[in-house]
Structure 1
Amino acid sequence: MASLPILKILEESHVSPPPATVHDGVLPLTFFDIIWLSFSPVHHLFFYELPSVTKTHFIETIVPNLKQSLSITLQHFFPFSGNLIVFPDRKPEIRYAEGDSVAFTVAESTLDFDDLIGNHPRECGKFYCLIPLSPESTKELDHVKISVFSVQVTLFPNSGISIGMTNHHTLGDATTRFCFLKAWTSIARSGSDESFLANGTLPVFDRVVNYPKIDEIYLKNLEVETTFFKKEFQPPRLSEPTDKVRATFILTRIVIDRLKKWVLTRIPTLPYVSSFTVLCAYVWSCIAKSRNDELEMFGFMVDCRVRIDPPIPAAYFGNCVALCMSTAKTDLLTGNEGFLNAAKLLGENLHMMLTHENGVVTDRWPFDGLFSQGMPTTKMGVAGTPKLKFYDTDFGWGRPVKHETISIDYNDSVSLSACKDSNGDLEIGSGKADVAADVAAEMGGMVGQSGVDDELHLSVSRNSFEDIQGINGWNLEIWHVSIHRFWKAISGVLSLYPCRLRNQKFWRENKVLECAKLLGENLHKMLTDKDGVMKEKWAYMGLVAQGMPMTSTGVAKTPKLRFYDMNFGRKWEAKKAKMDLDGL
């Protein structure tokens, strides 16, 4: 019997601003936008849990509301419904004309909603059908026209919906996209733009960024005529099959603060230390340990709105970010001092950029002199910022249960955002290939590099035990780890991360059931053995008949013993943060 398709297109339409509400307009691109001309599109995906949603309600209520509210939003953010126009001999622009629109796709999926919203590794290819494709570019007589924004809304019957968005990067940076989403969600919740106009902020379209010399430098280095006119240009697209898996790692505020304390203690003269740079150093050094490259490059974006003199309005529409890049030999990042070396390099380079005598904007191509040590084999970066609360995008059904930045699959980037469930914690999204297990292991082990102790503390919410479907949502709280092989073993047993080159049985769809079956059968066999639990033989006899395991692990203690009930009087209580981490 043939399997059902995982996605069924229900409707393909277009959404425009309300008639006669927007005049034809042109938004010239600045060098902040131009650098993204041939870059891959940006894909964001939001999942909303609606257990009682039916197809009828979805088609008759949810979709019309999204379309109507999007139309009103486009009235205030007209470039989203326009097109990127690229010329061979002058600056590109985003152009809107009456009738321009946003492609709007409505679909239904049979994919497992609960699987998609988990933090555990999932096949990257599963997500690609949930994001709208960028329409193909069209070549006119004297220009190339490229659509800049599209939307796809997908129903998961009796589970929820997803909203996927694709935009050309020249349209705007994360701040611009977030302002657009705040407006759209506000209008969707209230049914009109009255609340948004009263409490929100309208975008600033004035091209207050005016550096014509830098614009020319960027256009020259991008070789626009060759890229767009001497050959047919089409935006890159994600496609299956892929060997990549997508996972989310939660880094708690307490761990971030300990990492900062460690850096400040070990490198007290470092001019710039922040949660962001420490986190980037943490990720960079972890991933470097999973590779065999000679040279690595790491980059992240710096918002320039408040760093240009005079400052740019916070609601400035478009891109207004500069790239801060660092390169290092891999062996500098992989030793015992790897994390500290990464933190030092990133902190020094960011400080140098922010305190440069000419400011964050310089009249030169940003990649000049960057590769003096050679061309890095690996180039990775960070997409997103914890300052923008994407988990607050509520269309009227509550906050999303998961937000994914799908576009990190184009390269070796990771996504970074504020955590859904707690202030101060951060979510790190990674779409890696078959090194995912090693990356997970290093990310678990990095916190303990100082050698204070070798203890791993996991906190698993009880709700996860109530329903087998919720196991993939276990909340792991990493307090302190320094034996990364132990972390690999634990992650394999619990099936929270794939065990590459170990036991592929645990890397299938039923991985949790396989583990539960194996543990349950062995425990049952032990408890019901006719000779009892005590035997007159060496306990390990025959245990390694299949071969010696590469890793072994076990569980200490039992929840039946209430250690947290210990009270020595004077209302002293055992505290959760019981480990002495002063050594950090």
Structure 2
Amino acid sequence: MTTVLETCRIPPPPSAAAELSLPLSYLDVTWVHFIPIRRLIFYDHPCSESEFLNTIVPQLKQSLSLTLKHYLPVAGNLLYPSDTARKPIIRYVAGDSVPLTIAVSDNDFEHLTANYPRDADQFYDYMPMIPPTTDGDECKVVPVFALQATLFPSRGVVIGFANHHVLGDASSIVGFVKAWAEINRLGGGSKSFSVENLPVFDRELINDPCGWDQVNWEVMREIPFTPPPSSFPIPTDRVRATFTLNCTDLEKLKKTCPIQISSFVAATSYAWSCLAKSGDAVGEAAENGGMDCFSFVVEVRGRADPPVPASYFGNCLSSAMVKVERRRLAGEEGFAVAAEEIGRVIRERVNRKEEVLRCMQNWPESFEILKGIRAVGVSGSPKFDLGAADFGWGEARKVEVLSIDGEKYSMSLSKSRGAGGGLEVGLSLEKKRMEAFVAIFAQGLANVSY
């Protein structure tokens, strides 16, 4: 059972700026209608409930407030105008704050942090709900962030957070969490945050010579605005599991492929082909005219023209999509087929600056293409290692991405926390589909050799 001990709101310190308003770039606008991103970070940190409430929680509150001084948009709101001739903005004003829930749980920490399939619904005990949307002055006021800290006495601590994607991409949100963790670990002193790490909010850094800002908004404004859900998507009717591809596994997969591929391509191609095979195993019909689709986003701060600073806080993503016939993807050579196609798209679009930037500026076309298509997506990236956020308790034991629960299929991808290194793929599937996937995934690796 999980018990909520406290709900509070944490504002930036009084020394913070009184107001900050950020217009949405055309790269932010793309995410206005998406559901919140939900993540859990599990830490091994045995302590008593008394220590948690009297020492850890006050430290978390203080360090969070100090961090928000540098990340004011996190404490702010999305203002979505009633008159869509005007574009939304993210605004912070003095008095805004981040909701924080404090809880304690006697549930099985070892079970929750395992890799084998577990009921997906149980993880929502540790996830905060973003506060409901309210009506403001000719606009909807949409909170964009929420936090929860849950103690498992004598075992560990879980930090759960939810954010509206319009607030920022993985680079931005992971940067905020790592900054909070650093300030907490170092005690909140003046040396807890280096000037080099300060986030940059200037939307003028997103070059828009062709006026894509207005074009994208013309598309997105036609979609009726629906506030983020006021409840979690449970029952999910799903189970969650984590699949590790250690460095040896990845090297074996790479050597079976006729072209040179990266670890990202090896991991996602293998998981995608296993998903197709498991779909066939449970009788799932192919969609999209017999085609299976795989989509992923690309962080493009360094590819933009001119380049955007790595510390830019917001969305700076492009997209890519791969299509393969289901019969080929689910066939004996499915992994190689997937790897060749994903690799080709990366070479021809992602690694060619002019092509990936064109995709940045062509969200309306991409949005239309995605309508009605059941695509497997990727959430997260090993490049942004959320599990490395150290609050003073060491690196995380486990990271779970709850936003992959849903109607469509998606996988999370992160660095493995195990001794063998490599990558971890997280999946949320119906029980029968997961049983089939587990067997296919293990058998496929067993058959791979140098």
Output the TM-score relative to the length of structure 1: 0.71
- The residue type paired with residue 241 of structure 1 is P
One of 122, 131, 134 as aligned partner of 1:138: 134
Give the SS at the match of 1:107.
strand
Name the larger-Rg structure: 1
Give the SS at the match of 1:195.
helix
One of 420, 434, 437 as aligned partner of 2:435: 437
> Aligned in 2, Cα 1:368/1:34: closer, same or farther, shift over 3 Å?
closer
One of 267, 272, 278 as aligned partner of 1:279: 267
**Is structure 2 residue 56 aligned with structure 1 residue 72?**
no
**Is structure 2 residue 244 aligned with structure 1 residue 235?**
no
1:391-411 deviation digits (Å, cap 9, x = unpaired): 221111222211111111133
One of 299, 305, 321 as aligned partner of 1:325: 321
> Aligned in 2, Cα 1:273/1:424: closer, same or farther, shift over 3 Å?
same
Q: What does residue 8 of structure 1 align with?
A: 3
| 8 Å contact from structure 1 (residues 38, 235) kept in 2 | no
**Is structure 2 residue 80 aligned with structure 1 residue 86?**
yes
- The residue type paired with residue 296 of structure 2 is F
Q: What does residue 290 of structure 1 align with?
A: 278
**Is structure 2 residue 432 aligned with structure 1 residue 428?**
no
**Is structure 2 residue 221 aligned with structure 1 residue 223?**
yes
Task: Name the CA distance, whole Å, in 2 between partners of 1:388 and 1:164.
Answer: 17
Task: Name the CA distance, whole Å, in 1 between partners of 2:77 and 2:121.
Answer: 28
- The residue type paired with residue 117 of structure 2 is P
- Offset, 1:203: 0.7
Task: Name the CA distance, whole Å, in 2 between partners of 1:315 and 1:390.
Answer: 16
| 8 Å contact from structure 1 (residues 289, 442) kept in 2 | yes
- Offset, 1:60: 0.9
- The residue type paired with residue 343 of structure 2 is G
Give the SS at the match of 1:139.
strand
Unaligned runs of 5+ in 2: none
Task: Name the CA distance, whole Å, in 1 between partners of 2:161 and 2:193.
Answer: 24
Task: Name the CA distance, whole Å, in 1 between partners of 2:35 and 2:230.
Answer: 6
Q: What does residue 383 of structure 1 align with?
A: 379
1:62-91 deviation digits (Å, cap 9, x = unpaired): 111000000000001111100011122222
Task: Name the CA distance, whole Å, in 2 between partners of 1:420 and 1:445.
Answer: 23
Give the SS at the match of 2:193.
helix
Give the SS at the match of 2:128.
coil
| 8 Å contact from structure 1 (residues 105, 151) kept in 2 | yes
One of 18, 26, 44 as aligned partner of 1:23: 18
| 8 Å contact from structure 2 (residues 274, 441) kept in 1 | yes
- The residue type paired with residue 347 of structure 1 is G
Task: Name the CA distance, whole Å, in 2 between partners of 1:424 and 1:305.
Answer: 27
- Offset, 1:198: 3.4
Instruction: Quote the sequence identity (%).
Output: 38
148-157 or 358-367: bigger deviation = 358-367
- The residue type paired with residue 220 of structure 1 is E
Q: How does 1:339-488 map to 2 (within 5 A)?
A: 339-354=335-350, 356=352, 358-362=354-358, 363-364=361-362, 365-367=364-366, 370=369, 375-376=372-373, 378-410=374-406, 411-422=408-419, 424-434=421-431, 435-447=433-445, 480-481=446-447
| 8 Å contact from structure 1 (residues 137, 235) kept in 2 | no
| 8 Å contact from structure 1 (residues 189, 395) kept in 2 | yes
- Offset, 1:246: 0.7
| 8 Å contact from structure 1 (residues 40, 236) kept in 2 | no
Structure with more contact order per residue of length (Cα contacts < 8 Å, sep ≥ 6): 2
Q: What does residue 117 of structure 2 align with?
A: 121
- The residue type paired with residue 34 of structure 1 is V
| 8 Å contact from structure 1 (residues 227, 233) kept in 2 | no
- Offset, 1:199: 7.2
> How many pairs align?
433
142-151 or 391-400: bigger deviation = 391-400
Task: Name the CA distance, whole Å, in 1 between partners of 2:390 and 2:3.
Answer: 25
- Offset, 1:423: 6.7
Q: How does 1:517-528 map to 2 (within 5 A)?
A: none
Task: Name the CA distance, whole Å, in 1 between partners of 2:378 and 2:261.
Answer: 17
Q: What does residue 173 of structure 1 align with?
A: 169
- The residue type paired with residue 94 of structure 2 is E
Give the SS at the match of 1:21.
coil
Q: What does residue 309 of structure 2 align with?
A: 313
* Root mean square deviation of aligned Cα: 2.0
| 8 Å contact from structure 1 (residues 295, 375) kept in 2 | no
One of 207, 211, 214 as aligned partner of 1:210: 207
Give the SS at the match of 1:84.
strand
Task: Name the CA distance, whole Å, in 2 between partners of 1:397 and 1:200.
Answer: 24
249-258 or 68-77: bigger deviation = 249-258
Task: Name the CA distance, whole Å, in 2 between partners of 1:13 and 1:302.
Answer: 36
Task: Name the CA distance, whole Å, in 2 between partners of 1:233 and 1:422.
Answer: 42
**Is structure 2 residue 85 aligned with structure 1 residue 110?**
no
Output the TM-score relative to the length of structure 2: 0.91
| 8 Å contact from structure 1 (residues 186, 195) kept in 2 | no
Task: Name the CA distance, whole Å, in 2 between partners of 1:138 and 1:193.
Answer: 36
- The residue type paired with residue 419 of structure 1 is S
- Offset, 1:366: 4.1
